[in-house]
A = this chain, B = another copy of it.
Amino acid sequence: MKLVDRKLKILQAIIDDFITTAQPVGSRTIAKKYNLGISSATIRNEMSDLEEMGYLVQPHTSSGRIPSDLGYRLYVDNLMKQQELANRQKQLIQKLLINKIFEIEDLVQQSSKVLSKITNLTSLSLSPQFKKSKLKNIKLVQVDNDKVLLILVSSSGIVKNVIFRISEISQSILNKISNLLQAKLKGLTIEDLNDEVINNLKNEIYEYSTTIEALLPILRNTLCEIDDSEIYLDGITNIFNLPEFTDINRAKQFLSTLEKKELMYEVLKDSDQDDVCIKIGRENKLDEIKDYSVITATYKLNGRVIGKIGVIGPTRMNYSNIVPVMRYITDTLSEILKNINL
């Protein structure tokens, strides 16, 4: 059976309607609200076909239809017209992102906040992954007689540090060691710095060997413990405004899924590396979110993807609005990152 134009128009109308009303859509509704020039009986026949083809689902006999995952997929790929953002929305985004604090992590979180505010969904974001970026600087700074601050700066401008104790040592020696380490390690990604690389340093640096030996385990531990899955969520309570979550158990289940950071990390990792990625219902790998849709987008620095932001919510979400919003936010974010040029 071919999807003639009329069928597509009906499907589109049903999905548009269901997205706004959250109610199963009946043939009479379509006939009245959308003037397709055909009667409800004809629409009924077409709807029956569309159900047979897997694009619609009927919650129970004698109710209207709702879109299936497949239906949404067709809609997203072929039917929806991506709304151009209103200037007002663009300005709002600009206003909330520009002139803000310029710590990269804060900026990403702020983007997430804006996203959840505009979409009324829960947003999630992944800060630039420190471990995947290159080491730009490594410094040792004395902060006390017997305490030293280890500072690692990545090429994306993230700074990680840790204070540790070490028997008395002068700043000038620390400087020399810093320089040696930097010469050896600069340009490697943090991931690259595995035990082997670190241990080899012992053999490659001949000066200050006792200090270096004391230092290496600390360096190794610090690298190990760097918390890299910087998942940030915002707008969690937004879900309570959705009719899907009047069932307390569904809300509970969803919230406890959101609370599992490692799952959210998987969700973001699972998505494409380029442009906007939409995963609808069962298209998601994780069982816990097979009833939800996730839309993600990436932001870049120097042409390289360094992180992601996304929204998660019921499969019934306003795809045609969310996609351009996310595209605009990530573009703006990338632009700002380029300009502050860390």
Contact = CB atoms under 8 A, between A and B. Distances in A.
A255 interface: yes
A136 B144 contact: yes
A251 B151 CA distance: 43
Contacts of A144: 136-137
Interface stretch (A29-37, A156-164, A197-205, A268-276): A156-164
Interface string A211-254: 00000000000000101000000001100100001101001100
A262 interface: no
Nearest to A246: B248
A130 to B, nearest CB: 14
Nearest to A178: B141
Interface string A255-272: 110010000000000000
Name the residue in A141, A248, A251, A255 with the highest tally of chain B Cβ atoms < 10 Å from its Cβ.
A141
A225 B153 contact: no
Contacts of A240: 248, 251-252, 255-256
A225 B236 CA distance: 25
B255 A163 contact: no
Q: Count this chain's copies in the assembly.
A: 2
A162 B103 contact: yes
Contact of A256 (B139, B237, B246, B259): B237
A149 interface: yes
A181 B187 CA distance: 32
A259 B246 contact: no
Given A139-B141, A248-B246, A225 B163 contact: no
B159 A153 contact: no
Contacts of A173: none
A281 B74 CA distance: 53
Contacts of A3: none
B153 A151 contact: no
A143 interface: yes
A41 interface: no
Contact of A159 (B163, B251, B259): B163
Contacts of A86: none
B162 A161 contact: no
A159 B240 CA distance: 38
A221 B101 CA distance: 10
A342 interface: yes
Contacts of A136: 143-144
Instruction: Enumerate the 5 nearest inter-chain pairs by beta-carbon distance, A residue then B residue, closest first.
Output: A240-B252, A137-B143, A237-B256, A237-B255, A143-B153
21 contacts: A101-B225, A106-B227, A136-B143, A136-B144, A137-B143, A141-B151, A147-B342, A151-B161, A157-B163, A159-B161, A159-B163, A161-B161, A163-B342, A236-B259, A237-B252, A237-B255, A237-B256, A237-B259, A240-B251, A240-B252, A240-B255
